Structure 1
Amino acid sequence: MSPARLIAALAVTLVIVSGLGYLAAHTVMARPPLDLSSPQYVSAPVPAEAEPTAAAGQPLGATQVDPAWLSATASRTGIPVPALRAYARAQLDGVGGCDVGWTTLAGIGWVESRHGTIGGRALGDDGHSSTRILGPALDGSGKFAAIRSSADSRQWHGDPVWEHAVGPMQFIPSTWRTWATDGDGDGRVDPNDLDDAAAATARYLCAGGTDLTTGTGWAAAIFSYNHAQEYVDAVYAAATTYARRSAG
């Protein structure tokens, strides 16, 4: 199945499994009408070129993000430094194969889990929340799809019967298996690690082949991530807010 077809197939599930922070986003961050003339894309500074070094047999490590930029931008936007670093690194690494601005990933991170801090959690420097973030059981009740867990997926949520969306970007385990990415170069892939989850999100957004630096291409990519116009609006409001705040 092509990436585009795979995204379409997953979209129905994703719209039912909205992020934990999605409903709160309607009141916590204002949602103006979608205006694609406003900038939802801002670039992180490209780091100075340097040859990566690592001991034989060890991961090369991650792209370094300008610490001065991180400090200043985190202060202006209110995004935790580890989260901002993860979003910027995913953009700078180009893991998705297209141009994904850090503000786009930050918009999704806000809507899905408040950058891993939802429910009073703290986000550690390693990209992990103080307690893991799990969506509700996908047991077919209410608006939720009914998706049985598997032996492989239980390692992430511990439910022997039903699936749950996992981590700060709220990946369903079956989706994670497709897009899992080592975003911080530590040799592991973990949906609970925002570094990995942000990189996987960038890959997912790029897979549809749209140009995320254009308004219509950007909207189409976000719509593929969660097949609901209100979700696109919420992410857009967050992304444009971060773009505006980052300008100082």
Structure 2
Amino acid sequence: MRILRTVLIVVLALAVGGGVIAGILILGVPHSRSDNGNRAAPEDLPRFASEAPLVRASVPVGVGVAGLADPRWIASTSKATGIPQRALRAYAGVAIQVADAGTGCSIGWNTLAGIGEVESHHGTIFGGTLNAAGNATPAIFGVPLDGGSFAKVPDSDGGAIDGDPTIDRAVGPMQLIPNSWQNWHTDANLDGVEDPQNIDDATMAAAHYLCRAGGQQLGQEAGWRKAVLAYNGSGAYLTNVIRHATEYAKEAAS
């Protein structure tokens, strides 16, 4: 039986390019995959997680970002890392699409996976799952951001995104607060619906957010750290993302 632990990370707003981008919140989450007694001490961790290689599909498999990575690579990497295939297809596909966009921003699938692990265990938090379409089932909603244990984030969406008309909550497998989703919403799976509960859409929105924060320096330490801390302004959060993203890269290469 897994031991439950609660991770409390405060939402942080970051001013970027003259505009204020709302932060993103982590849920209280169950025991993490790396909390197994063999965790590397913080001083033993790399300072940031470099981008890990992936294999593209010779011909896209299906529609949207989930079909951009080679299915054999997805299967073998999922087995090596324990990342559910449906989530990994989103992380890898978004990394490919961002690289192909020509913006100068490049983000590793392992970074997106590290964030997805910390935020919601790849959409499986509290016994949930991702269905074939990539939708979190049941939908994932964070705690009320009412200024108690967390920062206060007044309602910005009338409950349209987070189901709460009184206060904001983080939503979906990548735990975007409504304001972040309103800024970076996208339809990455090309189903005609922009949905923060969908792993493809949510991961692409998260990548847009990270690219905005880190820009063309995202592949270097300063830009990478800046972007992850913009996503959640906590040193403990940064360390956890580094740990998971680095482990995923090593496991995929083994």
Scaled by the length of structure 2, what TM-score is found?
0.81
Q: CA deviation at 1:143?
A: 2.9
Indicate if the aligned counterparts of 1:133 and 1:166 stay in contact, CA closer than 8 A. Answer: yes
Separation in 1, partners of 2:21, 2:41: 28
2:17 matched to 1:4? yes
Give unmatched runs, 5+ long, in structure 1. Answer: 54-59
Indicate if the aligned counterparts of 1:204 and 1:225 stay in contact, CA closer than 8 A. Answer: yes
**Matched positions, count:** 233
Separation in 2, partners of 1:200, 1:3: 16
Separation in 2, partners of 1:74, 1:161: 39
2:37 matched to 1:33? no
Partner of 1:236: 242
Separation in 2, partners of 1:38, 1:150: 34
State the one-letter code of the partner of 1:42. Answer: A
Q: CA deviation at 1:19?
A: 3.7
> What pairs with 1:36-185 in structure 2 (closer than 5 Å)?
36=46, 39-48=49-58, 61-62=64-65, 63-94=67-98, 97=103, 98-151=105-158, 154-185=159-190
Compare 191-200 and 221-230 and name the one that shifted more: 221-230
Q: CA deviation at 1:220?
A: 1.6
Q: CA deviation at 1:232?
A: 0.8
Q: CA deviation at 1:182?
A: 1.4
Change beyond 3 A, Cα 1:31–1:216: farther
Separation in 2, partners of 1:241, 1:96: 28
Counterpart secondary structure, 2:161: helix
Scaled by the length of structure 1, what TM-score is found?
0.83
Partner of 2:225: 219
State the one-letter code of the partner of 2:97. Answer: D
Separation in 2, partners of 1:225, 1:146: 15
Separation in 2, partners of 1:5, 1:26: 38
Separation in 1, partners of 2:133, 2:33: 29
Q: CA deviation at 1:187?
A: 2.0
Partner of 2:203: 198
Compare 38-47 and 65-74 and name the one that shifted more: 38-47
User: Once the two structures are aligned, what percentage of the paired residues are identical?
Assistant: 36
Partner of 1:18: 26
Counterpart secondary structure, 1:155: coil
Q: CA deviation at 1:219?
A: 1.4
Change beyond 3 A, Cα 1:182–1:146: closer
Indicate if the aligned counterparts of 2:49 and 2:242 stay in contact, CA closer than 8 A. Answer: no
Higher helix share goes to which structure? 1
Separation in 1, partners of 2:143, 2:75: 34
State the one-letter code of the partner of 2:235. Answer: Q
After superposition, what is the alpha-carbon deviation per residue over 1:32-63, rounded to whole angstroms, capped at 9, x for unaligned?
A: 3264367532022133267x99xxxxxx7444
Separation in 2, partners of 1:149, 1:216: 31
What is the root-mean-square deviation of aligned Cα atoms in Å?
2.8
